[in-house]
């Protein structure tokens, strides 16, 4: 497998050296590379797995002193399988200053229960998502990925015109050519690291994604729900995948899955806490405007979504929007930026795909598959100042054009290729 470098790697290493990070929790969807990353970053830590039910009782019988002597530094995989271990780790942390642990788990259920209840105030939590575009562009573990233009701008000066971060001519830029190839791969296959095995054929990738769906149902979902009948959940997950980038209607989702609205809502929560989907809340703080309050759902990985639906072929506009928003979400969260995500839809039909709220104000994003952008594509963005309760800092139409264009308006407005802005 071609091992890709991760943007979060240096942050985890630096954190683990500090007293606040003696216990690091690294969580994320199954197969995002948590074990590989932790093993690579901490070669002096012993790797222990709680996956095997045969050996779990052996670990559960160890006292805090036993752990401090035998395993003062350890990477503990699938830690949510042994909740009682959290109390022992807590005791180790409190009694022994030299212990260092990296806890791995494929479900936020671990964070919601065991970690938050037992290790509150003692752990630092990091999330590992599928590969982002800058990470896909790396050729080896040793190559340091570059933060994207969007992240650099949001990190440094979102109140300034982003034009300085967008300068260049994509058509003659070698890095853009690589970014575009990686983006086209990502649109079709997503960011799961396992798909990058050197000997994988197209059929291997397709089969892996379909098998991932089955593995998720058998392993992660059993941790979350312990459902006796998986069929309604499968129907719900497929219905949600079809509804990506659309507002969530639990009555309709329940009807499609053959369950009640409350059960459909519970299924959505299972998918969210196991890193399969995002819920983007609606912006409706302006009480004088008639604004929708329904959140919309975004599938976190386009390849996994296609595996769930057994779908191939061309991408449509909703898939494009979902993929762009998910990529922005992953990059922002990996960079630990204080940015909130919203979408906006008025009851008379105006809609903005994504609003990023920073301390200074909002950034508006429209996602268009078009190769040619026209002034009308900015119409909804230009209407935002009358609705928002903070300044509108800039607006982007993220598209498939191979050129960057500044558009007329009271704020900086740009149409920009996805592979340029996000690399």
Query: How far is 4 from 20, CA to CA, in rounded Å?
Result: 28
Q: Where are the domains of the chain?
A: 9-128, 149-421
Q: For every residue of 142-205, which 3-state class applies, written as one string? A: CCCCCCCHHHHHHHHCCCCCCHHHHCCCHHHCHHHHHHHHHHHHHHHHCCCHHHHCCCCCHHHH
Higher per-residue pLDDT: 181 or 20: 181
Query: How far is 73 from 182, CA to CA, in rounded Å?
Result: 37
Strand, helix or coil for residue 344: strand
Query: How far is 41 from 142, CA to CA, in rounded Å?
Result: 12
pTM assigned to the model = 0.94
Residue 111 has pLDDT above 60, yes or no: no
Q: Enumerate residues 6+ apart whose C-beta is below 8 A from 273.
A: 107, 108, 109, 112, 224
Query: How far is 341 from 362, CA to CA, in rounded Å?
Result: 10
pLDDT digit string, tens, across residues 123-159: 888 999 999 999 999 998 889 899 999 999 999 989 9
- HSE, CB side, 13 Å, CA atoms: give it for residue 360: 14
Give the right CATH number for 9-128 from 3.30.70.940, 3.40.50.880, 1.20.120.1150, 3.40.50.300: 3.40.50.300
Residue 196: φ, ψ to 5°: -90, 10
pLDDT digit string, tens, across residues 38-92: 999 999 999 999 988 888 989 989 999 999 999 999 999 988 788 888 899 999 9
Which H or E run includes 376?
Answer: none
pLDDT digit string, tens, across residues 313-335: 778 999 999 999 999 999 999 99
Q: What is the mean pLDDT of residues 95-104?
A: 93
pLDDT score for 30:
85
Query: How far is 114 from 387, CA to CA, in rounded Å?
Result: 41
pLDDT digit string, tens, across residues 183-217: 999 999 999 999 999 899 999 999 999 888 887 76
- Can you tell me which residue has the tokens 């990058």? 196
pLDDT digit string, tens, across residues 259-291: 999 999 999 998 898 889 999 999 998 877 889
């Amino acid at each position: 497998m071609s091992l890709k470098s991760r943007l979060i790697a240096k942050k985890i290493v630096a954190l683990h050296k500090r007293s606040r990070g003696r216990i690091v929790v690294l969580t994320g969807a199954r197969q995002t590379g948590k074990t590989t990353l932790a093993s690579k970053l901490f070669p002096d830590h012993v790797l222990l797995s709680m996956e095997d039910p045969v050996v779990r009782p052996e670990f559960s019988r160890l006292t805090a002193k036993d752990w401090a002597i035998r395993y003062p530094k350890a990477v503990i995989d699938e830690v949510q399988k042994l909740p009682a271990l959290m109390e022992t780790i807590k005791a180790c942390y409190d009694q022994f200053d030299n212990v260092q642990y990296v806890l791995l788990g494929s479900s936020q259920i671990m964070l919601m229960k065991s970690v938050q209840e037992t290790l509150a105030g003692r752990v630092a939590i990091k999330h590992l998502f599928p590969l982002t575009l800058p990470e896909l562009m790396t050729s080896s573990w040793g190559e340091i990925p570059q933060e994207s233009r969007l992240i650099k701008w949001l990190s440094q000066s979102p109140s300034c015109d982003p034009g300085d971060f967008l300068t260049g001519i994509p058509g003659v830029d070698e890095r853009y050519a690589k970014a575009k190839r990686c983006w086209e791969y990502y649109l079709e296959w997503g960011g799961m690291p396992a798909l990058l095995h050197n000997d994988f054929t197209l059929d291997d990738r397709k089969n892996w994604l379909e098998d991932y769906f089955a593995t998720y149902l058998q392993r992660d979902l059993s941790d979350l729900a312990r459902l006796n009948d998986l069929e309604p959940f499968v129907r719900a997950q497929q219905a949600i995948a079809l509804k990506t980038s659309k507002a969530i209607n639990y009555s309709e989702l329940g009807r499609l899955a053959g369950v009640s609205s409350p059960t459909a809502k519970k299924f959505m929560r299972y998918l969210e806490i196991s890193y399969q989907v995002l819920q983007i809340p609606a912006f409706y703080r302006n009480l004088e405007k008639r604004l929708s309050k329904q959140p919309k759902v975004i599938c976190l990985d386009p390849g996994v979504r296609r595996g769930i639906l057994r779908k191939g072929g061309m991408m449509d506009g909703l898939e494009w929007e979902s993929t762009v928003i998910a990529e922005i979400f992953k990059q922002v969260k990996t960079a630990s930026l204080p940015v909130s995500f919203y979408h906006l839809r008025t009851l008379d039909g105006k809609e903005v795909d994504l609003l990023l709220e920073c301390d200074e104000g909002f950034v508006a994003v429209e996602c268009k598959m078009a190769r040619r952008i026209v002034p009308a594509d900015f119409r909804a963005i230009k209407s935002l100042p009358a609705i928002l309760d903070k300044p509108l800092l800039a607006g982007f139409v993220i598209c498939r054009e191979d050129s960057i264009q500044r558009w007329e308006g009271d704020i900086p407005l740009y149409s920009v290729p996805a592979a340029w802005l996000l690399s």
